[in-house]
Copies of this chain bind each other. A is one copy, B any other.
Amino acid sequence: MTTEQDTTELAERVEEALRGDDVERAAEVIASLHPADRADLYERLDPELREAFFSVLSTEQMAELMEYLDEEVRGVVTARMTRVTLARVLDRTSNDVAVDVLRTLPPSDMARVLSAMSTAQEISPLLEHADESAGGLMTRGYVALHPEMTVQQAITFLRLRKPLADEAYYLYVLDASNRLQGVVNLRELILSEADTRIEDVMTKDPIAVDPNTDQEDCLRLFERYRLRALPVVDEQQVLRGIITFDDIMNVSRWEADEDIYEIVGLPAEESIFSPLSVSLRRRMPWLFLNLLAAAYGAAVVGVFEDTIAKAAALAVFMPIVAGQSGSSGIQTITLMVRGLASGDLERRHLRHALLKEVTTGLVKGLLFAVVVGGAALAWQGEWAWGPVVGLAMIGNMTFAGALGVIIPMTLRRMHLDPAVASGIVVTSFTDVMGFLLLLGMGTLLISELR
């Protein structure tokens, strides 16, 4: 049983061997590690030891490493390999890793590496598809059977073909023109009589997608129908590739991160480990948008400068009225974004969602109005503090509920990602509305506030 402690200890042994130039020993321990742990160890090493580590790997092991390395690190590694070595390594990786790596190369390099690859014919068609589509996710590594084969023939074929672990569970049944007829899995093969024909065992009309299907929709199909693989077919129903379970697990984490990151105004590629300059470039745009939005809020406050000078305690309630509604609005946004992502929530639910969130906002507003408005009244002593603070609270909380539904729904209707910086947008609006309500009513009732 592999545990994390074991791995750390082995990692230290490899580091020691590499530092001591004990190549043989390092190679031995590295060989005993799971490729995932090898990749992890590599990522932790200092640059000079990475060099040494890499030099003890076989081409086979380099290919395995490619499968498990973080994309940023993989980019650095491939940039340092000769084009010929890279071609040999990519010949041994899974199709989708090869495609991902080739995509990151400058066009001229890509052509050179590709022409040196023996799997070039398999890979080139995959390069045409958008990265986040079914076509960009799929691999050509699948096993194809003929409908007229018997189960025994299929098993013999498998023994000759020796498929990789990744491609082996589902077998695709194609007609003479490579059109997808059905799918059969190893379990069904083993459980059937040897002379049964494949077409009598296979499941007909399996769920399939076309190459342009968005990866998020593919993920939804995997989850909804509990698939283990998803075939990709073109308009003629010709099988172009399959999406495997590993790829979709990555998509699952990626899409969740994308949502959560976009709500707060970050790109999905960002991480704590990104270089400082990259992080700054990535995070600044949304923070500048935020600043622009905050400037509107500030401008509203500026309009009421005289009122604030006369009743400075209004400034005390500004952050409370704005902040409560902002938090509440972000809660609604988050529910909407994740509901839309899982497919549970659709456009037809707009009215239901709006009613629900506006009512929730109203009820919360009433409650906070009593608490905060009451506190304002008790502190300042003049009656008008109660309604000024309380009504601003009620109005802004209700507004936040409506906005939290409308922003993601509108973005979705415009075929944009419903998450994009919606957290920043909603808090900016609730700031503006909060200040407007509080200071506006304060201005109307200024004579009653003192």
Residues in A lying within 8 Å of B, measured CB to CB: 1-2, 34, 36, 40, 70, 155, 158-159, 162-163, 165, 168-169, 185-187, 189-191, 205-208, 222-226, 228, 233, 237, 245-246, 249, 252-253, 256-257, 259-261, 263-266, 270-273, 276, 279-280, 283-284, 286-287, 290-291, 294-295, 297-299, 301-302, 305-306, 308-310, 312-313, 315-320, 322-324, 327-328, 330-331, 334-336, 338-339, 342, 344-345, 349, 352-353, 356-357, 359-360, 363-364, 367-368, 371-372, 423-424, 427-428, 431, 435
Q: Bound complex: CA of A223 vs CA of B246, how far in Å?
A: 8
A308–B319 CB distance below 8 A: no
List 22 A-B pairs, Cβ < 8 Å: A2-B207, A245-B245, A249-B249, A249-B252, A256-B260, A259-B260, A272-B339, A276-B360, A283-B331, A284-B367, A287-B328, A287-B364, A287-B368, A294-B324, A297-B320, A302-B313, A308-B312, A309-B310, A315-B315, A319-B435, A323-B427, A327-B423
B363–A280 CB distance below 8 A: yes
B165–A187 CB distance below 8 A: yes
Task: Report which of B2, B185, B276, B316 forms a contact with A165, defined as CB distance below 8 A.
Answer: B185
B323–A301 CB distance below 8 A: no
A324–B165 CB distance below 8 A: no
Q: Bound complex: CA of A353 vs CA of B271, how far in Å?
A: 10
4 smallest CB-CB distances across A and B, nearest first, come from A256-B256, A168-B187, A186-B186, A309-B312
B301–A335 CB distance below 8 A: no
Q: Bound complex: CA of A310 vs CA of B309, how far in Å?
A: 7
Q: Bound complex: CA of A65 vs CA of B283, how far in Å?
A: 45
Contacts of A305 in B (CB 8 A): 312-313, 315-316
Contacts of A317 in B (CB 8 A): 298
Q: Nearest Cβ distance between residue A42 and chain B, in whole angstroms?
A: 14
Q: Bound complex: CA of A270 vs CA of B356, how far in Å?
A: 13
Q: A169-B186, A186-B190 are in contact. List 13 more A-B contacts (CB 8 A).
A: A1-B206, A2-B205, A36-B226, A169-B187, A189-B190, A260-B338, A272-B352, A272-B356, A273-B352, A283-B331, A287-B324, A291-B324, A305-B315
Contacts of A237 in B (CB 8 A): 1
Q: Nearest Cβ distance between residue A286 and chain B, in whole angstroms?
A: 8
Task: Report which of B279, B297, B320, B327 forms a contact with A319, defined as CB distance below 8 A.
Answer: B297
Task: Report which of B70, B205, B335, B368 forms a contact with A266, defined as CB distance below 8 A.
Answer: B335
Contacts of A367 in B (CB 8 A): 284
Q: Bound complex: CA of A294 vs CA of B371, how far in Å?
A: 13
Contacts of A299 in B (CB 8 A): 316
Contacts of A284 in B (CB 8 A): 364, 367
Which of A185, A301, A331, A339 is packed against the most chain B CB atoms within 10 Å?
Answer: A331
B259–A245 CB distance below 8 A: no
A224–B36 CB distance below 8 A: yes
B264–A327 CB distance below 8 A: yes
Q: Bound complex: CA of A34 vs CA of B225, how far in Å?
A: 8
Task: Report which of B1, B207, B228, B290 forms a contact with A323, defined as CB distance below 8 A.
Answer: B290
A331–B291 CB distance below 8 A: no
B431–A323 CB distance below 8 A: yes
